[in-house]
Structure 1
């Protein structure tokens, strides 16, 4: 289905568009909460090595994100510019999920920092392919300011709700009273991704269309795009504000488990405490 520029999406289509947030949100805050302590302790890598690995992985994002945007803009398919990239990301993310979240089933992974690094880089390739394409798709569903705000509100509501849903998995495990390991929690979240990713992407791609792609007469080069960004002071302000918002979020996510376990001394309440934080998010979306 092709959309025109002034199409107002129904709530059902907005829910379908937001569906991929249900699995992909795992790799945002929940993954950053549990992966570092898991790799540092149960995988035997140590905090310094894990910190270096995640730093390299995030610097890799600095390259892969604009590269994915470049490819997504310039290589369309009969579906449009975005949906085929989202579909292609599914097998990559499923393989990466197995590599990153189920290392206990793969021989020779304990203490293997190179394995963890390469697995993370592979994971972020699939994650970037899906998220960049998904966000760009949402920005193109309408040219109306209010409708775009409505689209992004639905996506953000889905993200925050999905985070609470994902954290329910380790929360339930923590409250069983048995000896639950970080590996158990990683396995559980891995199964969550493997079971929800294909159907949620199918729902989005099947039920929500794109605008008809018209090749522009002139395509700006990389240098021109960088110059246009640098000369747009309003866009610079937005990027700086976004950096200031996400930096403390990343710090909090990386240190949260260590703080709850070693400072507060309540490891069995780690996920429950974090869920209370994310429950407030969806409740505030309609207000904003």
Structure 2
């Protein structure tokens, strides 16, 4: 294990992580900017947009496990991780261009179709990419280094996704707009950086001793108690993050009355997130991954709970909240991904097959379903209180109060639940090292 990990240079880790930038650049707009663009700019109803995106996530319920299972069973000379990743790059790039540069007469069916295509390509790209990273190293701390670099570049890609659309604007569907520019950038950079990774980063060594059937594999998943506990926390925390992500633009525009600050505040949030990644790695090294993640979620909950007490025009106070919670999102991104790799070791040691694809399919589905539930929950609930998405609409005091509570306090309660799940997480560094010794001794 040590010999293999010692050959994993920092340059190779960074090259591996590069595709995270364009992948992230399409993720944030799909959940924050696309619903707003299709409802406000193209004029589709908020309810239908939410239904279309929920439909896409239901399709994912089929795609994710099938792709994850196939990613583990695919064995060709080029590599089971690299092959599927390479095949998915052009499809994902083209679908991103179509969803971000729709025709002005685009209907809800256009959004549903291309959203489903993009989601399929994204899943086929992301699952082998993350499985690749999990299998690059077996060391407890080295895995955090890999995920830290990948998630730091993810945040940089997110910053690009914020800067480009807001630099040009997204209020005019005619001709060329900010989302269209972002679509072009993704369509060009994803295949380019993905090809560089395929060229320079070798396929990770596989430690499979025996093949596991589908039914038997499901039983191993069910018996992996740390996995069940982690994915539960992952889902709850994902929902806690997804609700404010879905409502962020409306909160800044309608509650704070500062629509011109939507882009700068988003940029501030994710810029601070880049700084939070090394901070999370540092704290995890002094304690443990799961306890450091719990500290981050707990701190974010306390800070975010003050948000509904803000008033119209309190932009600077909200900017401080964005900066502090942005710093802590680095914990949410880097640490769970590293714990995921450790949890997979339990299955590999028990089943005899290295099934990282299956596990990351489960986490991918959990992430998407939590974000879809956030949209499907937040938008209709806001509608019940009379909230209207149009920028020109004067919102009632009741709808604005509901917006603030749904935006901040419901996510805060959810995060406390996630903290409870991971506080005394049962997989320690010593246990993980014993698992790796068992896996690699054969």
Q: TM-score, normalised by structure 1?
A: 0.89
Task: Find the partner of 1:123 among 118, 127, 130.
Answer: 118
Which of these two proteins has the greater Rg computed from alpha carbons? Answer: 2
1:65-121: CA deviation from partner (whole Å, max 9, x where unpaired): 1111111111122221111111111110122123211112xxxx6252222111100
Give the alignment's Cα RMSD to 1 decimal: 2.0
Between the aligned partners of 1:168 and 1:119, the Cα distance in structure 2 is 24
| 1:8 CA drift (Å) | 3.6
Which structure 2 segments of 5+ residues have no match? 281-442
| 1:64 CA drift (Å) | 1.2
Between the aligned partners of 2:140 and 2:10, the Cα distance in structure 1 is 17
1:227-270: CA deviation from partner (whole Å, max 9, x where unpaired): 22222221111111111221122212222222222222222221
Partner of 1:157: 152
Name the count of aligned residue pairs: 276
1:205 lines up with 2:177 in the alignment: no
Partner of 1:253: 245
Task: Find the partner of 1:141 among 136, 141, 146.
Answer: 136
Q: How does 1:204-243 map to 2 (within 5 A)?
A: 204-213=197-206, 216-217=209-210, 219-243=211-235
Q: TM-score, normalised by structure 2?
A: 0.59
Stretch moving more, 185-194 or 221-230: 221-230
| 1:7 CA drift (Å) | 4.5
Partner of 1:173: 168
| 1:25 CA drift (Å) | 0.3
Partner of 2:268: 276
Between the aligned partners of 2:231 and 2:26, the Cα distance in structure 1 is 22
Query: Is the partner of 2:29 in helix, strand or coil?
Result: helix
Stretch moving more, 246-255 or 260-269: 260-269
Between the aligned partners of 1:263 and 1:286, the Cα distance in structure 2 is 33
Stretch moving more, 11-20 or 192-201: 192-201
The answer to which structure, 1 or 2, has the higher relative contact order (CA under 8 A, 6+ apart) is: 1
Between the aligned partners of 1:26 and 1:171, the Cα distance in structure 2 is 13
